[in-house]
């Protein structure tokens, strides 16, 4: 039994190495595709990206941050105006409330300086663990591994996580499989791999070097 478990562990380690090498081949320098100029702009952009695409978020935030260029402007913006700008996104009414709430909290409670501690950031309206992980990794190069829908899908297809694992369980497993110093880069690589290659609908399986270890139903 012990020999069997060791063999399975070695096979999994080999699969992770194959995957990591393929990510480096496809996406050696993975970018953050959300546009921002200020720290709170990235926070808001990541929050807005739920249930929509980064491309659409960038189109919206270009208008949003142009019309309301400061935290004070955002917190005083009429909800109707924010809703109008955010209308191309899903749940735009809720997100308009979140935008104004985030700006108000940072401006009034933290003197306009965005907090860096997870426990404080997660108290902001509409902000959860994934958003904070993206923020801390992207802005401050802290070791975080955010799990979004792309990362979740890729992890389960490649047996890096179980089908019924939740996002926190997936995060913990990925952190064990990859070196701590790589977490931020691997997260972005997996997001882009899931977005452009291992897509939810019509994934590009032909020519993929991971076909032999992928568990997606053909």
Active site residues: 130, 148
In a domain, 210, yes or no: no
Candidates 43, 36, 27; CA nearest to 130 is 43
On whether both 50 and 134 belong to a single domain, the answer is: yes
Last residue of a domain, one of 140, 170, 205: 140
Question: Domain holding 177: CATH number?
Answer: 1.10.1670.10
Same domain, 43 and 129: yes
CB 94 within 8 A of CB 126: yes
- Are residue 48 and residue 133 in the same domain, yes or no? yes
- The parent domain of residue 188 ranges over 2-30+143-196
Number of domains in the chain: 2
Does residue 206 form part of some domain? Answer: no
Q: Domain for residue 156, yes or no?
A: yes
Same domain, yes or no: 86 and 156? no
0.85 surpassed by pTM? yes
pLDDT score of 6 = 43
Examine residue 207 and state whether it is found in any structural domain, yes or no: no
What confidence score (pLDDT) does residue 215 get? Answer: 81
Distances (CA, A) of 194 to 38, 186, 187: 27, 12, 11
> What's the rounded Cα separation, in Å, for the pair 150 and 155?
8
Shared-domain flag, residues 157 and 190:
yes
pLDDT in the model for residue 5: 47
In whole angstroms, what is the distance from residue 209 CA to residue 25 CA?
11
90, 165: one domain: no
pLDDT tens for the 218 residues of the chain, in order: 554 444 445 455 588 999 999 999 999 999 999 999 999 999 999 999 988 999 999 999 999 999 999 999 999 999 999 999 999 998 999 999 999 999 999 999 999 999 999 999 999 999 999 999 999 999 999 999 999 999 999 999 999 999 999 999 999 999 999 999 999 999 999 999 999 999 999 999 988 999 888 887 55
The answer to whether residues 106 and 127 belong to one domain is yes
| 159 located within any domain | yes
Same-domain check for residues 92 and 170: no
Q: Phi/psi class of residue 51: alpha, beta or left (left: φ > 0; alpha: ψ in -120 to 50)?
A: left
pLDDT at 217: 59
> Which pLDDT score, from 0 to 100, does residue 84 have?
97
Residue 115, in any domain of the structure = yes
Do 167 and 192 reside in the same domain of the chain? yes
Q: Is 145 helix (H, G, I), strand (E, B) or coil?
A: coil
Cβ atoms < 10 Å from Cβ of 49: 21
50 and 136 part of one domain: yes
Query: What pLDDT shows up at residue 87?
Result: 96
Q: Among residues 143, 135, 117, 144, which one has the least CA distance to residue 46?
A: 135
**Residue 93 and residue 172 in one domain:** no
Tokens of 166: 């939740």
Angle 96-101-107 (CA atoms, 0-180°, nearest 5)?
A: 130
Residue 79 lies in a domain: yes
83 and 158 together in one domain: no
């Amino acid at each position: 039994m012990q020999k069997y478990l060791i063999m399975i562990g070695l096979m999994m380690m080999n699969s992770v190495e194959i995957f990591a090498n393929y990510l480096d081949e496809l996406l050696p320098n993975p970018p953050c595709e959300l546009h921002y100029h200020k720290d709170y702009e990235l926070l808001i952009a990541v929050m807005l990206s739920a249930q929509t695409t980064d491309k659409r978020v960038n189109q919206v935030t270009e208008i949003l941050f142009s019309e309301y260029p400061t935290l004070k402007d955002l917190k005083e913006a009429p909800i109707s105006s924010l809703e109008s700008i955010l209308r191309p996104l899903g749940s735009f009414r809720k997100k308009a409330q979140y935008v104004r709430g985030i700006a108000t909290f940072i401006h009034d409670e933290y003197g306009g300086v965005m907090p860096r501690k997870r426990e404080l950031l997660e108290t902001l309206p509409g902000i959860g663990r994934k958003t904070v992980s993206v923020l801390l990794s992207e802005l401050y190069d802290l070791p975080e591994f955010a799990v979004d829908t792309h990362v979740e899908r890729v992890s389960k297809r490649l047996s890096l996580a179980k089908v019924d694992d939740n996002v926190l369980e997936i995060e913990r497993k990925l952190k064990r499989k990859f070196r701590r110093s790589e977490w931020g880069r691997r997260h972005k690589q997996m997001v882009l791999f899931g977005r452009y290659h291992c897509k939810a609908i019509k994934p590009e399986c032909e020519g993929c070097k991971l076909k032999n270890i992928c568990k997606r139903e053909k």
